[in-house]
Amino acid sequence: MNYYHNLDQQKVLHFASLKSGETMVIVVPLKEQPPEGCKFLNGSLYNDFKEYAYFWNEKTDECWKTKLPYSLNARVGMRETWGEEVYKPYGRDEEVERRWRYKADGMPALIYKYHLEFKWRSAQSMPTEAIRYWGKVTDVRVDRVQNLTSREVMDLTAESDNVLWRLWDVVKNWFNTHYSKPIPRYKNGEIDHYECWLFSTDDIQKLKNNYDYLYPNYMVNLLNSNGYPKWKGKPFIVHIDPQCEVATLEKE
């Protein structure tokens, strides 16, 4: 079974620069967050630790588990912003050739002269046959996003050593940019609620002040809901400093 991970252009270039066998870190919030008071357990105690994260609630003396976004040893395709270039010389109706194009490589040089109806498409919509980079999950750990190490942050954000003095802001901006947008969750074929993940509590007000142009009325809706956040009329769950999978990918 293949898994997929969406990369922004900076991460695409970073992964492309790696040699076969070199590694890169990706961080993904757990889809199901453990109940309050739960602590992460060493998954190797369980037979299915390669696929699940285990947590222990000391107050209730109960074990809770959730499926990892990426299983250990899983093969992961790197999705990126892409397009399909159809080559049709002027004066001829038939297609001569179709080619995959990638935004990280820049705009195709002859697009305006020889290619019609070309547009960039989101990484989420990328077909498997267009994927050019693959990796294998060689190591997995689970931790809160605020507990990432400095080395993991630099690898995750493709930043250099000269950002060590502002790592907190770097990882906060990276995480909120990728995960603060409301995601619909479905039940019986209909939207049941929305979720988002934020780096810290103070990011709610900061996002309202700084990023209203990205998500119009998003934070206004959140802050003016009398303690019961809603998004598009549905319950809105906000996870602060969530538990995340920190996966190490080895490039094929």
Which residue, 81, 83, 114, is CA-closest to 99? 83
On the question of pLDDT at 220 being above 60, the answer is no
Q: Give the C-alpha distances (Å, rounded to integers) separating 166 from 75, 169, 171, 173, 227.
A: 33, 6, 9, 11, 33
- Residue 155: other Cβ atoms inside 10 A: 19
Which residue, 212, 214, 217, 211, is CA-closest to 231? 217
Per DSSP, the three-state class of 244 is strand
Among the residue ranges 44-58, 79-93, 136-150, 211-225, the one predicted with the least confidence is 211-225
- Cα separation of 136 and 151, whole Å? 20
Res 219: pLDDT: 46
Give per-residue pLDDT as tens, 33-44: 998 888 888 655
φ, ψ of residue 189 to 5 degrees: the values are 80, 0
Map out the domains of the chain as residue ranges. 2-30+68-77+134-251, 31-67, 82-121
Which residue, 137, 142, 168, 127, is CA-closest to 31? 142
Mean pLDDT of the chain: 81
Quote the pTM value: 0.80
On the question of pLDDT at 94 being above 80, the answer is no
Q: What percent of the chain has pLDDT over 90?
A: 35
pLDDT confidence band for 233 (50 / 70 / 90)? confident
- Residue 23: other Cβ atoms inside 10 A: 15
DSSP per-residue string spanning 153-204: HHHHHT--GGGGGGHHHHHHHHHHHHH-S-EEEEETTEEEEEEEEESSTTHH
Q: String of b and e for 33-61 (b: at least 16 CB within 10 Å)? A: bbeeebeebebeeeeebebebbbeeeeee
Give per-residue pLDDT as tens, 55-79: 988 888 888 889 999 999 999 999 9
Res 22: pLDDT: 95
7-21, 36-50, 150-164, 207-221 — most confident range: 7-21
pLDDT confidence band for 235 (50 / 70 / 90)? confident
